[in-house]
């Protein structure tokens, strides 16, 4: 079978490929960024990373992120936020409310009584505008949109840009920027679920995970932080040394029981943000030899092991996604930070610029 090459502008930049039309009549496009050995496909719908193709230790290439082959999959109920930009606020805000400068702000409650991943119509469900450009170290796709004052209850009109940069050395860098007309809160992340064996190829229980964190934010029965920052020492949440994800996931530890696996924010630092990138996690599939290293300027990392996947979703490969089919490594501000003054602040003031960077590097693990 002959496969047409991806569309390219005369400058060598990728051109938009049609990927469907939303129920509101908005056209969605797909952009394919091609590096030396890494390829990344991104949708203007939700800023979704639809595929991320990397080689294994023997040079065999495979897509390593969960997702769908059509727009309907991402728009369907229970789409699981696969690969999407999450905002205005990643993760949970307890009670779907918080107080800022003496004023109570009420948000959409879309996770029981709590606010999750931006609400019913968060950034993951919006069509973004896009432009491509050459950078000194690679090629970039920048997506941007305006989040209007009152969207899902949030204050202020926020201008948001997210750049996906595929560097010449095949590193993937995600750059987030935002500015607001009114003091508000913000926490942006990407919700890719990785399976380094290949999309749809079993579970991630055999993957080895290392997280550079000595503590985590304890959660309650609604998966909202209690406010306590707890040591990982002596618990199944201790990933300071490489450990198979499945080694302790069935533990009777109360934190794992309430989440049905791992769904926890690990504390990378206690300040809001660092100027320089710092390694947060390393993920390895011992069978394929694929390795992923995550670095970030953010203070938190949410590790989510696909606990709520139940086989009802069929991915791009045509295979069903069962429980633990992928693992998310979401760089972020801590969950419920707006209600926890002792957590790093998630407040964005008028006149300030929010900046955040996360970098993904791929390689072959040495055994």
Q: Which of 98, 92, 141 is nearest to 114 (CA)?
A: 92
Contacts of 81 (CB under 8 A, 6+ apart): 117, 124, 191
SS (H, E, C) 309-359: CCCCCECCCCCECCCCCCEEEEEECCCCHHHCCCCCCCEECCCCCEEEEEE
Catalytic residue among 39, 151, 330, 359: 330
Across 271-287, b (16+ Cβ under 10 Å) vs e yields ebbeeeeeebbbbbbbe
Distance of CA 300 to the CA centre of its chain: 12
In whole angstroms, give the CA distance from residue 184 to residue 75.
28
Q: Cis bond leading into 88, ω under 30°?
A: yes
Residue pair 84/123 in contact by the 8 Å Cβ criterion: yes
Pull the structure tokens for residue 322: 């069962």
**359: its two tokens:** 């970098």
Tell how far CA 207 is from the center of its chain: 18
Q: Residue 256: which H helix or E strand, with range?
A: helix 254-259
Q: Are 217 and 267 in contact (CB under 8 A)?
A: yes
Catalytic residue at 117?
Answer: no
Tokens 């004023």, located at residue: 103
To the query of whether residue 99 is one of the catalytic residues in this protein, the response is no
What is the Cα 182 distance to its own chain's centre? 26
DSSP-H helix ranges across 165-205: none
Spot the catalytic one: 115, 191, 207, 264: 191
199: three-class secondary structure by DSSP: coil
**Catalytic (active-site) positions:** 191, 330
């Amino acid at each position: 079978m002959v496969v047409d090459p991806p569309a390219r502008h005369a400058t060598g930049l990728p051109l938009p490929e049609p990927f469907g039309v939303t129920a509101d009549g908005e056209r969605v496009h797909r952009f394919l960024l091609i590096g030396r050995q890494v390829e990344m496909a991104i949708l203007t719908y939700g800023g979704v990373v639809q595929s991320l193709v990397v080689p294994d230790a023997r040079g065999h290439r495979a897509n390593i992120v969960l997702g769908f082959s059509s727009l309907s999959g991402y728009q369907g109920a229970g789409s699981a936020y696969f690969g999407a930009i999450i905002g205005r606020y990643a993760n949970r805000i307890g009670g779907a409310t918080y107080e800022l400068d003496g004023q109570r702000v009420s948000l959409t409650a879309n996770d029981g009584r709590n606010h999750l991943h931006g609400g019913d119509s968060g950034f993951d469900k919006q069509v973004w505008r896009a432009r491509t450009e050459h950078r000194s170290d690679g090629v970039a796709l920048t997506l941007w949109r305006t989040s209007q004052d009152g969207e899902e209850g949030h204050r202020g009109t926020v201008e948001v840009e997210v750049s996906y940069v595929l560097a010449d050395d095949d590193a993937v860098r995600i750059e987030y920027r935002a500015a607001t007309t009114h003091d508000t809160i913000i926490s942006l992340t990407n919700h890719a679920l990785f399976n380094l064996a290949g999309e749809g190829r079993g579970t991630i229980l055999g993957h080895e995970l290392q997280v550079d964190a000595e503590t985590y934010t304890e959660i309650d029965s609604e998966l909202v932080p209690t406010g306590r920052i707890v040591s990982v020492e002596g618990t199944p949440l201790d990933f300071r040394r490489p450990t198979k994800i499945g080694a302790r996931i069935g533990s009777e530890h109360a934190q794992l029981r309430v989440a049905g696996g791992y769904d926890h924010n690990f504390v990378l630092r206690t300040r809001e943000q660092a100027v320089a990138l710092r390694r947060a996690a390393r993920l390895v599939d011992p069978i394929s030899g694929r390795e992923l290293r995550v670095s970030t300027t953010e203070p938190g990392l949410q590790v989510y092991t696909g606990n709520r996947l139940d086989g009802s979703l069929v991915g791009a490969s045509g295979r069903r996604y069962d429980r633990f089919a992928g693992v998310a490594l979401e760089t972020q501000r801590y969950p419920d930070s707006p209600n926890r003054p002792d957590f790093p602040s998630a407040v964005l003031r008028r006149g300030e610029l929010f900046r955040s960077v996360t970098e993904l590097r791929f390689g072959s693990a040495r055994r």
